[in-house]
């Protein structure tokens, strides 16, 4: 199964990656996928997405297609899903 993950704003800038497509043999929880990928683009990138306890940062927004995924929701990715990882911003 093929899943595309897109990164926004500060995350994209720090990781130097705007999106990546991953092939999965079996489905997995969205949060697990995000945590796994967070380790692939350097420590600054990882710490933007993952907190010191190893959980997703509470201030990172995760969407699958156009639906918001809360941190404790149990949602599995499906073939051709688009996962969006969105960083907070307050620029005025």
Partner 1 sequence: MGSKKALTDAERAIYEWQIWVPDFGEEGQEILKGSSILISRCGGLGSVVAYELVAAGVGRLVLAHGGDVKPSDLNRQLVMTHDWIGKPRIESAVRRLRELNPHITIEGVGENVTDGNVEQLVAEVYLVVDCAPLFEERFLMNREAVRQGKPLIECAMYDLDAQITTIIPGKTPCLQCLYPEKPPVWKRQFPVFGAVSGTVGCLGAMEAIKVLTGLGEPLLDRFLVCNLRDMTFRTFNITRNPDCKICGGLT
Binding site for partner 1 (CB under 8 A): 8-10, 13, 48, 57-59, 61, 63, 66-68, 70, 84, 86-92
Which is nearer to partner 1, 26 or 89 (by Cβ)? 89
Which is nearer to partner 1, 26 or 74 (by Cβ)? 74
Which is nearer to partner 1, 79 or 90 (by Cβ)? 90
Nearest distance, CB of residue 89 and partner 1, angstroms: 4
Nearest distance, CB of residue 87 and partner 1, angstroms: 8
> Which contacts (CB < 8 Å, 24+ apart) does range 74-78 have?
74/29, 75/29, 75/30, 76/27, 76/28, 76/29, 76/30, 77/1, 77/3, 77/24, 77/27, 77/28, 77/29, 77/30, 77/33, 78/1, 78/27
């Amino acid at each position: 199964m093929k899943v595309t993950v897109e990164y926004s704003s500060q995350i994209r800038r720090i990781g130097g990656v705007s999106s990546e497509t991953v092939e999965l043999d079996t489905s997995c929880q969205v949060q697990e996928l995000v945590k796994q990928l967070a380790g692939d683009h350097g420590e600054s990138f990882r710490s933007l997405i993952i907190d010191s306890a190893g959980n997703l940062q509470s201030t990172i927004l995760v969407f699958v297609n156009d639906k918001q995924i809360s941190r404790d929701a149990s949602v599995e990715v499906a073939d051709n899903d688009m996962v969006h990882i969105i960083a907070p911003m307050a620029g005025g």
